[in-house]
Structure 1
Amino acid sequence: MTEQQLTPQGDSPPPSPRHPSTRARLLAPRALGIGSAVAAAAAVVALVFATQTAVQATSSPETTASTPIAADSSDEDAPEKAADVPKPATVAAAYDGLTGAEVEYVRFVGAQDAAFAAGRDVFGEPGLQFLSTDVADPQAYADGHRRLLSLYYDYATNETVSMIVDVTTGTVEAVERASGTQPAPTDAETSLAWELLLDSESAQPVIDEFASLTGGSVLTPTSAEVLLTAHSFTTDAGTFGAESCGVDRCVQLLAQVDGGAFLTTSTYVVNLSTRAVLSIS
């Protein structure tokens, strides 16, 4: 959308993006999304984190040779919760693109690792918060095995966790942790952040603005008129009010109404680690 298409009200999207709640979650089904990380060894992990930090979780998938399958499923049908996920009948070649079946399998295998069980997800429950999966760089290995790299977030320690699974052998080969890195938020994290914002004392201006734009409609977390996206937020020297963001897991929301105006949400940041809504300046 160009600036000419936006109304003067509300926020505009970033000019050039690089890319408390009960169990009745507002979670979307698993969806295809963008991720640009292709890495395998621990030496490459920092690069993976950096390239994913500014990517919006709800971006449309690209038709590339290796399109990562992004991060979200409902709590009920997530592969990590399954009693068993069978290994794909045919293991893809090292350089092949991802398939949904092998991503589900790798997520299940990763969930059996002790590092996964020791973590906490965005809802404070046992298990790491799954973010995304991509093909690990085959050039880093000489055995020709199929390997995938999954990213998770551990809300217990505020660390991003990378896990390499050998699909050929069905084993977790490496788990690495990094602090101060913030990959793009998932649909689940985005939905929770929106719910927290609307439930906060800061929400009234946003609610009033929505009512003005829609002729009096009531804004709720499930309002069909709103297209919701988000990006991870790290504070800088020129931003005040969210100094812990970058260490804590924080997101900033973009809420577009009926394909037109954007609600004014740029003055708020949602700290998912503490579940606090922060006003920034």
Structure 2
Amino acid sequence: MRETVHRHLGKVLTGAALAAAGTAAMVAVTLPGTAGADDSGGAGGGARAARQAGQDPDAAPPGVVERAPAEQKQGTGRDPLTDDELGRVEKIAAAGRLSATARDVDGDRGPQRLSVDLAEPEAAEADDPDAPRRADVTFYDYENDTLVTRTVNLKTGKVERTGTQRGVQPPPSRAENAEAARILIAHPLGAGLKADYKDATGRELTSPDQLELSGGIYEASPGAQPAVLDKCGVHRCVRLFSKVRNGPWIDTRDLVIDLSARKAAALDRG
């Protein structure tokens, strides 16, 4: 997709630049008084004609936007991970027992991917220009509410270490925000959201795709929420910020969706 976009822009901008250059050349030829410039002024006639046409004879030629170079499959050093590397390390990290036993936010087999980041080099490799590149791939396993981080060596294609944590909740992914909205739309507490959406658009709200969504993690505090949300923090719970596509915001901040239990509850506004 990236290559296609760059190629298209290159064609459009190059065509525009050429059209502009062609128009300027036509003006220079057809302006009155320039037809005999070369005969009367020798080498200087061309410069006078250019000045009469509004051109700077010493100006650089119009710029041309060239196609961006193709992205390499392998990055080097501290370069950002390439698309090829991102796809490869995710498959490597999710393989094996994790892919068979873990569950994602939809309840399907396999863990929920949260992030893929270039890992920091080992302490002994800090000054080594040939140090292997590694990626930290972070998943959430909804089967047992566990955060799983796997470090993959990009050179060997092997998982070098695996870390697991419970009660640690990174920000929700786009897929998790969408699933939280799907649960809310189907829940009685989503009635207000659906009514506000219809008031704003005249249409029924039936899918998260109709909203622009962002979300934050909610963690329970003693006595601060309904009992149904007391496990938030161990469970993965999300507060949604909802917006009609190309339209107004809809206030859903007091609603919390427990993605682990697939339940929703309202916080006390007071």
User: What's the TM-score bracket when you normalise by the shorter of the two chains?
Assistant: 0.5 to 0.7
Q: Structure 1 residue 238: deviation in Å?
A: 6.6
1:220 counterpart = 2:206: yes
**CA drift at 1:237:** 4.4
**4+ aligned runs moved over 6 Å, structure 1:** none
Aligned-partner Cα distance in 1 for 2:178–2:121:
35
Q: What CA distance in whole angstroms lies between the structure 2 residues aligned with 1:94 and 1:158?
A: 34
Aligned pair in 2 of structure 1 residues 259, 135: CA closer, same or farther (>3 Å)?
Answer: same
Q: Is the 8 A contact 2:138 2:148 kept in 1?
A: yes
TM superposition shift of 1:222: 4.6
- Kept after mapping to 1: 8 A contact 2:73/2:83: no
Determine if contact 2:180/2:259 at 8 Å carries over to the other structure.
yes
The residue aligned with 2:32 is none
Alignment TM-score, normalising by the size of structure 2: 0.65
Matches within 5 A, 1:150-169: 150-169=137-156
The answer for the alignment partner of 2:56 in structure 1 is none
> Secondary structure, in 3 states, of the residue corresponding to 2:249?
coil
Deviation track 1:100-132 (CA, whole Å, cap 9, x = no partner) reads 110100011112232343211112222111111
Rate the CA distance shift 1:141–1:129 in 2: closer, same or farther, 3 A. farther
Structure with higher helix content: 2
The equivalences for 1:77-226 within 5 A come to 91-142=74-125, 144-214=131-201, 216-222=202-208, 224=210, 226=211
Partner of 2:35: none
Matched, 1:273 2:260: yes
Change (3 A) 1:113 1:174: farther
Distance in 1 (CA, whole Å) between partners of 2:73 and 2:196 is: 53
Residue 225 of structure 2 aligns to which amino acid in structure 1? F
SS of 1:109's equivalent in the other structure is: helix
In structure 2, list runs of 5 or more residues that go unmatched: 1-70
CA-CA distance at 1:161 after TM superposition: 0.6
1:258 shift after superposition: 4.7
SS in 1 for 2:240: strand
User: 211, 214, 237: which is aligned to 1:250?
Assistant: 237
Note if contact 1:254-1:263 (Cα within 8 Å) is conserved in structure 2.
yes
Counterparts of 1:117 and 1:95, CA distance in 2: 33
Are 1:239 and 2:239 counterparts? no
Q: Which has the higher contact order (CA 8 A, sep 6+)?
A: 1
Distance 2:92 2:203 in 1: 45
Q: CA deviation at 1:259?
A: 4.6
Q: Does structure 2 retain, via aligned residues, the 8 Å contact 1:235–1:243?
A: yes
Superposed, 1:22-101 pairs within 5 Å as 91-101=74-84
Larger C-alpha radius of gyration, 1 or 2?
Answer: 2
Aligned residues, how many?
Answer: 192
**Secondary structure at 1:117's aligned position in 2?**
helix
Q: Contact conserved, 1:209 with 1:263, CA < 8 A, in 2?
A: yes
Q: CA deviation at 1:184?
A: 1.5
- Structure 1: which 5+ residue stretches go unaligned? 1-87
Q: TM-score, normalised by structure 1?
A: 0.63
